[in-house]
Structure 1
Amino acid sequence: MTATTEAMAPQAILARLPAALARLLRAEAGPLLPAVRAEVFGPQRFAQHGQSLGVTHAARRPAWRGAGSFPKFFPRLRDNIRMLREAQAVLALQAGGGDEPGPAALWLLDNFGLIEAQLLAIHEGLPRSYFRSLPVLEGEPLAGLPRVYGVAWAFVAHSDSAFDEDLLVHYLAGYQTTRELDLAEMWALPTTLRVVLVENLRRLAERLATHQAARELARRCAENPAACPLPVLQALCVPLALRGVEDVFLTQLGQQWLEPHHASPETVPAAQRLWLAVQLQARLPAAGTLAARQQAEQTADNLSVSNAVGALRAVNDADWPAIVARSSPVTQLMLGDALFAAEHHKSRDQTLHGIEALARRSQRSEMQVAQALRSLIDNAATTSGSSTITTTAGHWLHGPGRPALARALDLREPLAAAARAL
C-alpha cells in the first residue's frame, strides 16, 4: 500500500463524512439490534400466547438493600433518547441535502417532539422507587427486570408496536390464567409500554440512520474510485460488517459501479469491479434479490415506525382505569360486590390499595386477600341483623372488622399497627 493509499485509509475516509454519519458507522457502536417485532397475533392467538408466557415467567420479589443497589428499571432509556436525537439529526441532514426521506424517516422527523416527550412522560408516570417492589423475572433474556417489562415487550412485539385496548385485554386475560399480575404491575403497564415503544423506535431509527450513513459512504466511494482502491474497500468492510451494514454499503456501491445506467467502466478499475461483483454474488446469487430483501425490510420498518408513533399517542389517551378493571382478576372479583361496583373510583382505589398493602403484610397473594374480604362481606350481607356498614370493604380493611380480616389471613398484627389501619 502506497503512502497515498495509507493516507486514505478507512479511518480517513470515514472522517470525511459528516461527524454524525461517521459516528453511526463506528464498529465500537456494536451490531444493530433487530426491531422488537414478531408474528402479529389476533385476539385468540394473543390470549394463547399470554397463557403460555405466564407459565414461563417465573419471578421473585427483589431484595434491594439500598437506593443504588437495584438495577435500572428502564434499560438504556437515556441512551435511547440520545440515539434517537442523533438519528433525527442525520435524517434531517440528509433531507436538507436533497435526499428524499422515506416514509419511516418522515414519521420520525414529523413526530420527534412526541417521541422526545416520552422521557418526561416516563419519569413523571411513576417514580423509579415504585418499581423496586415489583416482581422481577428469573429467566433470560430479561432476568432481573420487572416481570411487567417482559409482559409489555411481548405485547409490543406481537402487535408490531400497534396499540389496541381489546387485544391488550385478551392478552392480559390469557396471561393471568397461569400467572397472576399484581395490581402494582397493572398500573406500571402504561409507563412500561412507553419504555418498550421507545426502545423499538430507537432500534428502528438507528438502523434507518445507519443504513443511510452506509449508503452515503458508498456514494462517496463510487464518485472517487481512485481514493478507494481494493485494499481500502476491503478494510472499510470490516467495521461495516461489525455494525451490520456491509450489505447496504455493497448494494449501493453495486448500483453505481455495476448497473449499466449508473456505471462508467472506464473510471472504475477492473479489480474493484470484479471484487464487488464477487462479493454481491456470494451474498445472494439471484440478481436483485439482495436489494429486494432490503426493500422488504424497509417496508416492514415503515409500518413499525408508524405503528409505534401512533401507539405512543394511544397509550397516552387510553382509559387505563377501565383497562385495569377489565384485566385484573382482583378488580373483577371485587366488582362482583354491588356496593364496591357502585362506589366512586377514588373509593375503589382506596379499597384496592388496602388489598395490596394487606397482601404485602400477610405474605398472601392479592387474590387471596380479595377472596377473604369478599367472604366476610358476603357473610355479613346474609347474616340477619347485620349493619349495612359491615357489608362495605372499608369496614373490614380500615374499620372495626380489620382484626377479623387479619385472622382470616393468619396475620397477627400488633395492636398499634391494627389501630393505624383503622
Structure 2
Amino acid sequence: MRSDLFSADQMAQHGKMTAASHRLAVEPAPDQLLDRLAENEAALTRVCNLLTAAVTAKRRITPAGEWLLDNFYLIEEQIRTAKRHLPKGYSLELPRLASKSSLGHPRVYDIAIEIIAHGDGRVDAESLSRFVTAYQSVNALKLGELWAIPIMLRLAIIENLRRVSSRIALEWFERDLADSWADRMTEVAEKDPKSLILVISDMARSNPPMVSPFVAELARRLQGRGPALALPLTWIDQRLTELGLTIERLVQSENQHQASDQVSISNCIGSLRVLGAMDWREFVETMSVVEQILLEDPSGAYGKMDFVTRDRYRHATERIAKKCGLTEQEVATRVVALARVGTVTESAAGADDRARHVGFYLIDKGLPKLAQVVG
C-alpha cells in the first residue's frame, strides 16, 4: 500500500488523475468493508499478542513494534468507532467502482486508500482538501460520499497498519531465529569453543534466510564478541558473497526498513488523532458542490442560516436526486433557477417572497413545482 510520497501539490494532481481513472459499476456488489475490517482487526491483534509475548520473554522488538504496542489501545478504539459508523449495508448506498483492482469497493474508499498510500499513512487537512477539490474538478462526489470520508480514511489507515504490522511480525520471526542461533553459539563458545564448528554446520544445514532482519540481528549479537564467534559471521559473509551481498549492506538495509516502518506507524497513529480532531461539518460544507450552488440563493437567506438548516436542505437535495435520477448538483441548479424565476415573478406581481428562497422548493410549498422540473 505504500507508494511514492506526494506533496500537497502532487496530491492535488493525483486527485485529478484518480478521478479520470475511476469507472463506476452499474451492478450492485456485496459489502466487503466490514469483513475486511474484521480481518484487519484479527491480524493486528495477533501481531500485538506476538509482540507482547516477545517483550514478556525479554526479546528485543523494533521501534515500530514498540509504537504499535504503545498505541494499540487507540487502534482498538478507532476500530470500534469504525464499526459504529459503518453499519452493515451502509456502504452499499455509495457509488462503487468497476475496475478490477477495486471491484466493488466504494469510490470514496479508493480515494481514502490513495490518500493514505501517497502520504505513507499521514493525513492533514491541506493535502486532503486539495485532493478532494482536484478530484471534484473532474467528478463531483455525492453528499453521502463526503460524509463517508472520515470513516473511509480510518479504514484505510487500519489497512495500512495491518500491512506494516504484518511485515513487523514476519521480520520478528526472522530476527528471533537469529537470536536463537546466537544464544546457542554464545553458550557453546563459552563452554566448549571447539564444538562451535558443529553448531555452525547445523545452522548451514538449516539453510537460514539470507535476509536483512536475520543477518543484521545475528551480526548485532555476534560482532565484537571474540574470534570464536567471528566464525559464524565468516560463513554468513561467504553465503552473501555468492548472492552479491554483504553483511554491511544488509545491516544498512535493515536500519532503513526499521526507520521506514517506524515513520509509517507513527504517521498512522498521528493521523488517527487528526481525524478525531477535524471539524468534519466544515469540511463537508467546504467541499460540497451542492453547498456552493445553494449559496447562490437569490433571497440571500441560505448563507445566513445555521448549519443544521443548511444540512437539512442539502439532504433534501440528496433525496430528490435519488428519486428522480439526476445528480445532486443538477437538482440544486434547478432549485436555484426556480428561485430566480420566483424573484422575477415577485418583482413583477408581488408574489410570496418565499418563492425567492431555495428552501421553498426543497422542503416547502414549492416542492411540487420542483417535482415537475426534475421529472
- Both structures adopt the same fold (TM-score exceeding 0.5): yes
In structure 1, what is the equivalent of residue 183 of structure 2? 223
User: Which residue of the other structure, out of 347, 356, 359, is the alignment partner of 2:309?
Assistant: 347
User: Which residue of the other structure, out of 318, 321, 329, is the alignment partner of 1:356?
Assistant: 318
In structure 1, what is the equivalent of residue 336 of structure 2? 374
SS in 2 for 1:159: coil
CA contact (8 A) 2:240 2:246 kept: no
In structure 2, what is the equivalent of residue 418 of structure 1? none
Pairwise CA RMSD of aligned residues? 2.4
| 1:61–1:402 Cα change, 3 Å | farther
SS in 2 for 1:137: coil
Query: How many residues are treated as equivalent by the alignment?
Result: 357
Q: How does 1:5-84 map to 2 (within 5 A)?
A: 36-63=1-28, 70-74=30-34, 76-84=36-44
| 1:230–1:91 Cα change, 3 Å | closer
Percent pairwise identity:
28
In structure 1, what is the equivalent of residue 147 of structure 2? 187
State the shift of 1:141 in Å: 1.6
User: Which residue of the other structure, out of 129, 133, 151, is the alignment partner of 1:169?
Assistant: 129
Quick one: distance in 1 between partners of 2:367 and 2:79? Answer: 42
Q: Which amino acid aligns with 1:203?
A: R
State the shift of 1:79 in Å: 1.9
Q: How does 1:132-171 map to 2 (within 5 A)?
A: 132-171=92-131
TM-score by length of 2: 0.87
Quick one: distance in 2 between partners of 1:262 and 1:329? Answer: 70
| 1:71–1:131 Cα change, 3 Å | closer
Unaligned runs of at least 5 residues, structure 2: 186-197
State the shift of 1:309 in Å: 0.6
CA contact (8 A) 2:294 2:358 kept: no
CA contact (8 A) 1:37 1:157 kept: yes
Q: Which amino acid aligns with 2:263?
A: L
**Of 91-100 and 162-171, the range deviating more from structure 2:** 91-100
State the shift of 1:63 in Å: 2.6
Quick one: distance in 2 between partners of 1:266 and 1:157? Answer: 42
User: Which residue of the other structure, out of 280, 287, 290, is the alignment partner of 2:240?
Assistant: 280
In structure 2, what is the equivalent of residue 119 of structure 1? 79
SS in 2 for 1:229: helix
In structure 1, what is the equivalent of residue 291 of structure 2? 331
Q: Deviations over 1:185-228 (max 9, x none)?
A: 11111111101111111111222232122111111123336567
SS in 1 for 2:104: coil
Quick one: distance in 2 between partners of 1:360 and 1:262? Answer: 76
| 1:217–1:263 Cα change, 3 Å | farther
Quick one: distance in 1 between partners of 2:179 and 2:312? Answer: 63
User: Which residue of the other structure, out of 228, 234, 244, is the alignment partner of 1:264?
Assistant: 228
State the shift of 1:329 in Å: 1.4
**Of 173-182 and 128-137, the range deviating more from structure 2:** 128-137
Q: Which amino acid aligns with 2:67?
A: W
In structure 2, what is the equivalent of residue 12 of structure 1? none
Quick one: distance in 2 between partners of 1:210 and 1:221? Answer: 17
Q: Deviations over 1:3-59 (max 9, x none)?
A: xxxxxxxxxxxxxxxxxxxxxxxxxxxxxxxxx322322222211110111000111
Unaligned runs of at least 5 residues, structure 1: 1-35, 65-69, 238-244, 412-422
User: Which residue of the other structure, out of 75, 82, 89, is the alignment partner of 2:49?
Assistant: 89
SS in 2 for 1:290: helix
In structure 2, what is the equivalent of residue 419 of structure 1? none
Q: Deviations over 1:244-303 (max 9, x none)?
A: x9442244335556x4546625985xxx953x3343224453551111112112111111
Q: Deviations over 1:382-411 (max 9, x none)?
A: 4312322222333212332222212222x1
| 1:42–1:265 Cα change, 3 Å | closer
SS in 1 for 2:33: coil
| 1:279–1:247 Cα change, 3 Å | farther
In structure 1, what is the equivalent of residue 174 of structure 2? 214
Q: Which amino acid aligns with 2:291?
A: T
State the shift of 1:230 in Å: 5.1
SS in 2 for 1:166: helix
Quick one: distance in 1 between partners of 2:302 and 2:75? Answer: 39
In structure 2, what is the equivalent of residue 308 of structure 1? 268
CA contact (8 A) 1:84 1:202 kept: yes
State the shift of 1:90 in Å: 2.3
Q: Which amino acid aligns with 1:369?
A: V
Q: Which amino acid aligns with 1:404?
A: K
In structure 2, what is the equivalent of residue 28 of structure 1? none
| 1:256–1:111 Cα change, 3 Å | closer
Q: Which amino acid aligns with 1:201?
A: L
**Of 206-215 and 44-53, the range deviating more from structure 2:** 206-215
SS in 1 for 2:89: helix
In structure 2, what is the equivalent of residue 11 of structure 1? none
Quick one: distance in 2 between partners of 1:313 and 1:172? Answer: 20
- The question of 1:407 aligning with 2:349 is answered no
User: Which residue of the other structure, out of 206, 229, 236, is the alignment partner of 1:233?
Assistant: 206
- The question of 1:204 aligning with 2:164 is answered yes
